[in-house]
Structure 1
Amino acid sequence: MAGRIQIDIISDVVCPWCFIGYRQLERALEIAGLEGDIRWHPFELNPQMPPEGEDVAEHIARKYGATPDQSAATRHSMKAIAEPLGIDFSARSTRIWNTLDAHRLLHWAKDSGKQTDLKLALFNAYFSRGENVSDRQLLLNAVEAAGLDREGAAAVLNSDLFANEVRALEAHWQEMGISGVPAMILAEKGLVMGAQEPERLAIALKKMAALTEPS
């Protein structure tokens, strides 16, 4: 029987490295012979993003000062890492969107056993189909694709439910020193920042799992 390890992942649904990092984690768990109990936590890369969103290239240039050539090189490198992991970035959205509602739904789904299914539905919608992850119909479709209750999700979106909880969690992780994502907390003890090669991550997983085994 495979051992288990708790993994808390702080991420945003419009973060390409978060999608890559999750697929790398899946492979690392296989290498380590472990099963992960995964909990997703909110982090908004752009909490002030307006409803209409922003062009990705313009946003990257404004926020990070990246030139078009630098952005193109980053996308090329990202694609080379993503493709062997089964991630297709070819149709990713050319706009970046506000993700508060997506995080509210992920918080709503946290005890359902389908939170990861919803996260992946949102990743795929944005990165593989270029869809607007702030659009409520898209969000409800993702909920349904994950096997969750569409009417229950609509009730969340039609209210302010979980907005305060999401903001409080975001503030908590920032107070803990997390300023970028993905960030993974292994067995509530070890912090791993950024997307990691599966072989290297597997070593950390096995080490942390061993520390939490009953003596």
Structure 2
Amino acid sequence: MQIAIHFDVICPWCFIGLRRLRAAIARRAGLTPSLVWRPYFLNPDLPDSGIEFPVYIERKFGGALRGKRLLNSLEDIGRSLGIRFAFDAIRRVPPTLDAHRVIRLAHRFGVQTEVAEALFAAHFCQGRDIGDAEVLTAAATRAGISETEVAAALADDALADALRDEATAAQRSGTLGVPLFVLNDSFVITGAHEPEVLVRMLDVATAGEELAAAEPGNFSPQPRSRPTRP
């Protein structure tokens, strides 16, 4: 089974969604899906300098008080999943193109999920600037990728264009928020849902695989499901 995860590295729900997906997978013994990470840009027009985190929260959620309430709720959810959000440590929200370049590079080495999770943790739990080349390089080299490979990816304009085009194509096809999970190119669920919901989708996708194997000429994918994001 392949699960494509459409995400942005500065999306806390994407971090939560990954942990909940892992919890769901753990409930199905023997299931070892391949996770593939797809780019999405929540803030495509951010300047290279980024934006101060408090300003970003106030603008995004219509006020500092509303933003604080949401962050408190995220902290509570995170604790239940072993995520220690440290929003007070975040100083800047950077553009995420370079982070997506490094995560795409990691796919070549089979460590995409490891690098993605390292960057989630760096941003949300350590307050590190994931727009900084040194931070990105550190996450990649810990996963076994050379500094030379990282530097080449960060300078690769063709890769940047491909990532932008991929994110734009996803939006045009109906991806309007993240996280979004696509199972076997057929079954879609949007949002960081509880493991119980994700388990049901895993079961549906598994049943589809079994039907396709038994009757390859008669199987067609089920319609895509688009539940509301929490």
Structure 2 equivalent of residue 10 of structure 1: 6
Kindly provide the amino acid, as one letter, of the partner of residue 152 in structure 2.
Answer: A
What SS class does the counterpart of residue 104 from structure 1 fall into? helix
Q: 1:30 aligns with which of 9, 26, 30?
A: 26
Structure 1 equivalent of residue 74 of structure 2: 78
Kindly provide the amino acid, as one letter, of the partner of residue 121 in structure 1.
Answer: A
CA distance in 2: counterparts of 1:153 and 1:209, whole angstroms: 36
Say which one has the larger Rg. 2
Does 1:132 pair with 2:142? no
- Render the CA deviation track for 1:76-130: whole Å, top value 9, x for unaligned: 1111111121111025513211100111122222232111111111111101110
Q: 1:57 aligns with which of 34, 54, 57?
A: 54
Following TM superposition, the consecutive aligned residue runs of length 4 or more in structure 1 with deviations greater than 3 angstroms are: none
CA distance in 1: counterparts of 2:69 and 2:139, whole angstroms: 31
- Render the CA deviation track for 1:125-174: whole Å, top value 9, x for unaligned: 10111011110111111111122122111122234240111011111110
Judge conservation of contact 2:128–2:135 (CA < 8 Å) in 1. yes
What SS class does the counterpart of residue 27 from structure 2 fall into? helix
Does 1:44 pair with 2:41? yes
State the percentage of identical aligned residues: 36
Judge conservation of contact 1:108–1:162 (CA < 8 Å) in 2. no
**Over aligned residues, Cα RMSD in angstroms?**
1.4
CA distance in 2: counterparts of 1:193 and 1:160, whole angstroms: 30
CA distance in 2: counterparts of 1:206 and 1:56, whole angstroms: 39
CA distance in 2: counterparts of 1:170 and 1:207, whole angstroms: 26
Kindly provide the amino acid, as one letter, of the partner of residue 31 in structure 1.
Answer: R
Q: 1:112 aligns with which of 106, 109, 112?
A: 109
CA positional deviation for 1:75? 0.9
Kindly provide the amino acid, as one letter, of the partner of residue 61 in structure 1.
Answer: E
TM norm structure 1:
0.92
What SS class does the counterpart of residue 22 from structure 1 fall into? helix
CA distance in 2: counterparts of 1:50 and 1:196, whole angstroms: 32
What SS class does the counterpart of residue 110 from structure 1 fall into? helix
Q: 2:83 aligns with which of 67, 82, 87?
A: 87
Judge conservation of contact 2:106–2:140 (CA < 8 Å) in 1. no
Structure 2 equivalent of residue 96 of structure 1: 93
CA positional deviation for 1:208? 1.1
CA positional deviation for 1:64? 4.0
Unpaired segments ≥5 residues, structure 1: none
- Highest relative contact order (Cα 8 Å, sep 6+), 1 or 2? 1
CA positional deviation for 1:32? 2.7
